Amino acid sequence: MRFGAATRKIILPDGFLPTEGFARQIDELHVRALVLEKERRLALLVVELTSLPPEEIKALKAIACAASGAERAFVCATHTFSAPHFMPDHQLDEAGRAKKEQLREAVQNAAREAARVAAQGMKEARLTFGEARCAVNTARDVETPLGWWIDKNGGGLVDHRMTAIGFTDEAGTRIATLLHYPIQSSVLDGSQLGEGGKAVSGDLAGWMAAEVEKRTNAPALFLIGAAGDQAPREKAVGFIVENGELRRTDRQDDAIEVGRRLAKEMAQAALEAIASEQPIKADTLAITETEVVVPAKKMERDLHKLHPTRIAPYEAYGERMQPVCVLTLGEAQLVGVLPELNCVTAKAITQDHPLARVVTLFDGGAKYMADADSYDRITYEAMNSPFGKGAAERLTEAARSLLEKRI
């Protein structure tokens, strides 16, 4: 099997900021590419943005294929909350649409160059797989007197595994590392800098990847796991209940150093996972996929209207189709889904497959798809979702079926 990888900066033009409340860029954003080949050529792009709408995914896939010669490409966002969004045109004025085009050009240029360089540098390589414990993430669903809400250090299930899939050439030189961990890069989410405005940053995933790249001298591509109900154990913004109401707190500039400290802890765990890697077979490069029909519900689009409650706000709204894709890399398998799943769902999908990992925001995004218990508790993930109770369980069945069809 042959592999190549590259990292390229997303260069935002002068004058791009301020936008969407972002005032200053404190570190660079990147696109990372991995090109894989065994009888067929595939490409994987990892983009340091919150999410990518379907039209941007489609364009990036075409760019990656054209630049790398791949027959098919996959696109994943790292889900940093501290990056500009591709907002719908109808929500933007003329200046906003111009900045959206600038962002599109910057991301596409980085993707094109990363894919091109990755393909040019392809080498015969071996695969390795390792993991280590990393306690930066916590369960974020916390019960308050008003109902369940988002915070940190809740009592729910947490997956502390930092997984590394290594790509090393025959001379022992590192080509790339896939890093998988279930966490939202949201330390700075919504936080205001001391001088005003929000900071543009790769946040946890970006800081960790940069550190691992520095230590391994090879691209490090972060894949977000089932982090729907997972959060960093420390964040800039928090909430407390005071006099029967939620009150917001903000650590502001101090949170940048907090985030970088947590990212160094993640990077250390990633390096421990790399050190623990053992060879796995690199005999298969395959895609298996399906679509599953799941229950849908109406979703409140104005997130400011969501709040802790004991009264279930759910209204059924037919059904939706959701794709599930399994990318097989030798003995390892990546289960790609669009929605953000809770930790318990990923555990149910992969429980019989120790080298399988669930990757969310895979080829797009679809908001949250919470497990049935979350709907009963009326968590944020259940409310902020277009899916009805039982959707995660149906998706689990479909994903497990694909894993059993291992090629």
Q: Residue 308 belongs to what domain range?
A: 285-404
Whether residue 14 lies inside any domain: the answer is: no
**Is 341 a domain residue?**
yes
391's tokens: 């959707």
* pLDDT given at position 406: 65
> Does some domain include residue 127?
no
pLDDT of residue 153: 81
Report the DSSP pairing between strands 237-242 and 245-250. Answer: antiparallel
66 belongs to a structural domain: no
Domain count, the chain: 1
In a domain? residue 383? yes
Write out residues in the chain with pLDDT < 70, as ranges: 406-407
Q: What is the pTM of this model?
A: 0.95
Give domain status of residue 347, yes or no. yes
Please tell me the predicted confidence (pLDDT) of residue 237.
86
Report in angstroms the alpha-carbon separations of 84 from 45, 94, 292. 18, 17, 31
- Residue 188 falls inside a structural domain: no
Please state the φ and ψ torsions of residue 141, each to the nearest 5 degrees: -80, 120
- Read off the tokens for 87: 């907002």
pLDDT of 226 reads 98
**pLDDT at residue 368 in the model:** 98
Q: Is residue 31 part of a domain?
A: no
